[in-house]
Amino acid sequence: MERESFENEDIAKILSEHFVSIKVDREERPDVDKVYMTFIQASQGGGGWPMSVFLTPELEPFLGGTYFPPEDHFNRPGFPTILRSIAKQWEKDEQGIRQKSAKVMAALQQMVEVASDEGEGPPGLNCVQKAYQALKAREDKQYGGFGSAPKFPQPVILGFLLKFYARYIGSEMGQSALDMVLVCLRAMNNGGIHDHIGQGFHRYSTDELWHVPHFEKMLYDQAQLACVYLDAYQITHEEIFASVARDILLYVSRDLTDEEGGFYAAEDADSFPLASSEQKKEGAFCVWTEGEISSLLSSPLPSSSLTVADLFCHHYGVKSGGNVPSHKDPHGELSGQNVLIVRGSVEETANHFQLSVPVTVELLSKARDQLAQARRDRPKPLRDNKLVTSWNGLAISAFARGYQVLDEQDYLERALKALILYETSSTFRCLVGSVEVPTERALVC
């Protein structure tokens, strides 16, 4: 939204005329983020970022949402339309909006203060079972995950279900909880939300298929997903889950690690398609045309007139005109491009090309390496170099768990190096009550 709306002169004019605009960094002010995210989740049934909230002068919210497009599109109002509508409503019924927002804040406060259904003390098992039943009702049995688009990885929910399985092992409920997790983990691994060339997972999927992602990558997603995949490996002993965990930790080690051992916060979704480009595009670093792949993977297949590109395109759903549906690309940034996504097994691909499975696995692996090498020549997305303490804690835990489960010494060394950085660093910036204590190094608490 920053590029599409906040830097748009026409939209900025509307904002300046009718509103006092305040931009908050949620990583530096998680306390502010928590208050208004609670409102968004309660009023919208879910939340996410970017988050736009409209407040009264008393800072009480009355309307909000996540992403708003810069123009009206597909029967969805654009940000300018929403701004004008709110300004008109405020002018017409300011007192009514103030009263409504005051009631909203009172209701949110009451939600926070409500005791559990067990009265005083910790929630009972019935609370845990109710949570399971609620998730079961929202399960997407066809594509994995919960609810409809947009779909987030939700590692905390997946972790809860694995613990639920461990508590009710041997029961129908327990097996159902495990099945929900495994279906979701496999779907995410195969989907476009997983970066098949550069490793790691993107922020969320814009569709229910896990196909077209929002291309941002967050440290806390990588850390928590690595732990969930490790847990799934320990339960099932299926090597695919260990492989995905290694994939995630490789990405964090290579692209999100500070030279002193800490872990960076995120990588941006947008980047320049070419070094000479003047305009960034979402996903430009990660997507491919069929022509690019055909040029890079032109070697012939064994005993065949076909090429490695034919094999790769079949396995990863690459199409000549691109594989991103137009309704998932409202600004045309992904036109003609392909987001790699696996819709069949390696065995199916091997059978289709009359190859053995080991040969197919080797060919696909070498092809991914070739594309990764080519991708290194592209302009990289910007990286958020903040070292957020809580997120680093998650990453330290993920590497420690990786060492524990996979016996990789490098994981232990990375966890210890980051831990020592935090134990010995004297340069922090943190919030003490409402007072910010600044320092030179952005280790944000």
pLDDT in tens, 148-200: 888 999 999 999 999 999 999 999 999 999 999 999 999 999 999 999 999 99
DSSP-derived 3-state class of residue 63: strand
- State pLDDT tens for residues 261-289: 999 999 999 999 999 999 999 999 999 99
Of 91, 113, 135, which closes a domain? Answer: 113
Residues 344, 347, 350: CA angle, nearest 5 degrees: 100
Is 67 part of a structural domain of the chain? Answer: yes
Please tell me the distance from the alpha carbon of residue 443 to that of residue 55, in angstroms, as a whole number. Answer: 30
In sign, the C-alpha dihedral spanning 136, 139, 144, 146 is negative
> Looking at per-residue confidence, does 14 or 109 come out higher?
14
| 396 has pLDDT over 70 | yes
- Is 240 among the domain residues? no
**438 pLDDT more than 50:** no
Q: Cα separation of 298 and 312, whole Å?
A: 11
* Strand 383-384, strand 266-267: pairing: antiparallel
pLDDT the model gives residue 120:
57
Q: What sign does the CA torsion over 71, 288, 341, 285 have? A: negative
What pLDDT sits at residue 206? 92
Q: 352: Cβ–Cβ under 8 A, 6 or more apart, which residues?
A: 314
Give start and end residues of each alpha helix (H) in 237-307: 239-255, 290-296
For 424, other C-beta atoms within 10 Å of its C-beta total 8
Which of 48, 80, 113 terminates a domain? The answer is 113
| CA distance to 67, 132, 177, 238, 409, per residue, from 160 (Å) | 28, 9, 9, 20, 28
Of residues 47 and 179, more confidently modeled: 179
Please, are residues 193 and 204 in contact by the beta-carbon 8 Å criterion?
A: yes
Classify residue 385: in a domain, yes or no.
no
Q: Give the pairing of strands 52-55 and 61-65.
A: antiparallel
pLDDT band at 431 (very low <50, low <70, confident <90, very high): very low
Asked if residue 133 is part of any domain, the answer here is no
Angstrom distance (rounded) from CA 336 to CA 318? 10
Residue 415: the pLDDT is 97
Residue 62: how many CB atoms within 10 A of its CB?
23
DSSP string, 72-103: -BTTB--HHHHHHHHHHHHHHHHHHHHHHHHH
Q: Are 42 and 111 in contact (CB under 8 A)?
A: yes
Phi, psi of 324 (to 5 degrees): -95, 120
Per-residue pLDDT tens digits for 105-134: 888 777 766 544 445 566 677 889 999 999
Q: Among candidates 23, 102, 13, which has minimal Cα distance to 57?
A: 102
Distance of CA 53 to the CA centre of its chain: 21
Is 295 a member of any domain? yes
pLDDT of amino acid 433? 44
Query: Residue 247: beta bridge partners?
Result: none
Quick: pLDDT tens for 306-318.
999 999 999 999 9
Q: Where residue 107 sits, what CATH number does that domain have?
A: 3.40.30.10
**Domain span holding position 326:** 270-375
The answer as to whether 38 is a domain residue is yes
Residue 229: exposure state from Cβ atoms within 10 A (0-12, 13-18, ≥19): buried
Which strand ranges, in their side-by-side order, compose the sheet holding 217-218? 217-218, 266-267, 383-384
What pTM did the predictor assign?
Answer: 0.82
Q: Give the contacts of 409 (CB within 8 A, at least 6 positions apart).
A: 403
What percentage of the chain carries pLDDT values higher than 90? 72
* Contacts for 97 with CB less than 8 Å, ≥ 6 apart: 56, 62, 89, 90
Tell me the mean pLDDT in the region 353-375: 98
Q: Determine the pLDDT at residue 43.
A: 82
Among 136, 140, 127, CA closest to 172: 136
Collapsing DSSP to helix, strand or coil, 172 comes out as helix
Task: Establish if 330 belongs to a structural domain.
Answer: yes
In a domain, 364, yes or no: yes
> In the predicted model, what is the mean pLDDT of the chain?
90
The total domain count for the chain is: 2
Say yes or no to pLDDT of 426 above 80. Answer: no
Cis bond upstream, residue 50 (ω within 30): yes
Q: How far is CA 437 from CA 248, 393, 396, in A?
A: 33, 21, 25
Domain boundary among 312, 347, 375: 375
Q: Please report the DSSP string for 95-132 in residue order.
A: HHHHHHHHHHHHHHHHHHHPPPTT-SSS--HHHHHHHH
DSSP secondary structure letter of residue 4: I
Judged against a pLDDT cut of 70, whether residue 443 lies above it is answered with no
Which one, of 179, 113, 92, 99, lies nearest residue 141 by Cα? 179
Quick check: 313 and 196 in contact, CB under 8 A?
no
